[in-house]
Amino acid sequence: MKFSATTCKQLTKVLIDWYHHHKRDLPWRHTRNPYHILVSEVMLQQTRVTTVIPYYEKFLSHFPTLESLASAPEQSLLRIWSGLGYYRRVRYLQAAARQIISKWNSQFPKEYHDLQTLPGFGEYTAAAVSSIAFGHKHAAVDGNVLRVLTRLVNEKGNVKKTAIRRKLNFAAQSLVSSVGPRSAGTWNQALMELGATVCTPQNPSCNLCPLKQWCSSVKAGTQCIRPVKVRPHKKEKMVTSVIVCTKNEQFLMRQRPEKSKIMPGFWELPEVEGQLLCETDLHEWGMKQLRRLSSFSHGITSRIYDVNVYIAASKGKPLRSFHWVPQGKLSTIPLTTITRKTLAILESISPEGR
């Protein structure tokens, strides 16, 4: 799968022109600062642009430089990131900042292969940073780009397979190699923008597409069935119960262990797996008078949780792992998503209705 040199030249020029006229005005498109670009790229992994914008601005106002990020206490990092999910990302960001300072004398590495040695940097992130910040010709193939390429060449194979990915990466690399000096970042972003706004997963707007004349799947009428992906496994259903126990405007909470695989270091309301059927178990936690308040659904990568929310009264001394956290302090500590959703439900119910 290879585009001819002439096709590469024409196609890239047309798309870059289209991008200059149609791109969305996003805050990270006003900078070539590699650190700022890195923050945006990491945040955009698995997260929508509209969600990322306020987080990006808040994050950089708290940590405007590599040094400020490297020296930030983990709790404040997690608090600023709280709500964006996939918390491993921010830990990798900090680890990368520390490595750039210690190993690269605070100079952001420019080369693709050097970037790949940083914590959390895969092929995509290294290509995105090296092309956008430094103009190096590396194809950054994210989900949007993969979809556009698959449709352009009408690839029939399963894009989850390595051999098919390799073919598509090869096509992507031949395209980026044909753009002018320092245009590699613009080209990569133009492809991403086309995938995000025109060549969308459902109902692509082919009539508005600047690449229509080169698109094999639109000629074959197969654009809506490309790319071919293996169906994801059904999400596993789980039930969990969260207990809200308050005393003098304080919440009974615990901090997740540092070794926990999920959200280590985050604070949470007491939670038990499954449905709570009786309150006997709660006595040793220092709670009594259990009452069901509400429920909600919470989805993570491979699971959907049915979360039951209970209210309980305080009874004697709680377990040593629990702490009374004043209500006013909740906005200053990182909270798990289930805890944040539970507190939002609690806030929406009047004290008489609880």
Per CB under 6 A, the list member of 217, 241, 255, 342 interacting with ligand SF4 is: 217
In the bound state with ligand SF4, the residue whose beta carbon lies nearer, of 93 and 149, is: 149
Site for ligand SF4 in 89-148 (CB under 6 A): 148
**Shortest Å distance, C-beta 205 to ligand SF4:** 6
Quick one: which of 190, 187, 167, 165 has its CA closest to 177? Answer: 187
Q: Does 192 bind ligand SF4 (CB under 6 A)?
A: no
In the bound state with ligand SF4, the residue whose beta carbon lies nearer, of 64 and 201, is: 201
**Shortest Å distance, C-beta 165 to ligand SF4:** 18
Tokens at residue 191, please? 């492809």
Q: What are phi and psi of 319, to 5 degrees?
A: -55, 155
**Shortest Å distance, C-beta 191 to ligand SF4:** 10
Site for ligand SF4 in 139-178 (CB under 6 A): 148, 151-152
Tokens at residue 322, please? 């629990």
Cis peptide before 227 (omega within 30 of 0): yes
Query: Residue 333's CB: how many other CB atoms inside 10 A?
Result: 17
**Shortest Å distance, C-beta 23 to ligand SF4:** 16
Q: What are phi and psi of 286, to 5 degrees?
A: 80, 35
Stretch near ligand SF4 under the rule CB under 6 A, chosen from 184-192, 196-204, 260-268, 284-292: 196-204
Q: Does 290 bind ligand SF4 (CB under 6 A)?
A: no
Quick one: which of 343, 341, 141, 328 has its CA closest to 245? Answer: 343
Stretch near ligand SF4 under the rule CB under 6 A, chosen from 3-11, 90-98, 209-217, 277-285: 209-217
Per CB under 6 A, the list member of 34, 185, 204, 318 interacting with ligand SF4 is: 204
Rounded Cα–Cα distance for residues 283 and 289 (Å): 10
**Shortest Å distance, C-beta 155 to ligand SF4:** 12
Selected catalytic residue, list 41, 155, 268, 279: 41
The percent helix, strand, coil of the chain (3-state, each to 5) is: 50, 15, 35
Whose tokens are 């997690």? That residue is 78
In the bound state with ligand SF4, the residue whose beta carbon lies nearer, of 210 and 286, is: 210
Q: Does 199 bind ligand SF4 (CB under 6 A)?
A: yes
Is residue 80 within 8 A of residue 57, CB to CB? The reply is no
Q: Which amino acid is at 83?
A: G
User: Does residue 41 have an active-site annotation?
Assistant: yes
Per CB under 6 A, the list member of 66, 77, 90, 209 interacting with ligand SF4 is: 209
Looking at the chain, the number of H-run helices and the number of E-run strands are 14, 7
The alpha helices in 157-295, defined as continuous H runs, are: 162-177, 184-197, 216-220, 280-283
Q: Does 223 bind ligand SF4 (CB under 6 A)?
A: yes
Per CB under 6 A, the list member of 190, 211, 325, 343 interacting with ligand SF4 is: 211
Which residues have C-beta within 8 Å of that of residue 349, sequence separation ≥ 6? Answer: 293, 294
Rounded Cα–Cα distance for residues 209 and 105 (Å): 45
Q: Does 218 bind ligand SF4 (CB under 6 A)?
A: yes
Residues at the site binding ligand SF4, with contacts judged by CB under 6 A? 148, 151-152, 198-199, 204, 206, 209, 211-212, 215, 217-218, 223
Catalytic residues: 41
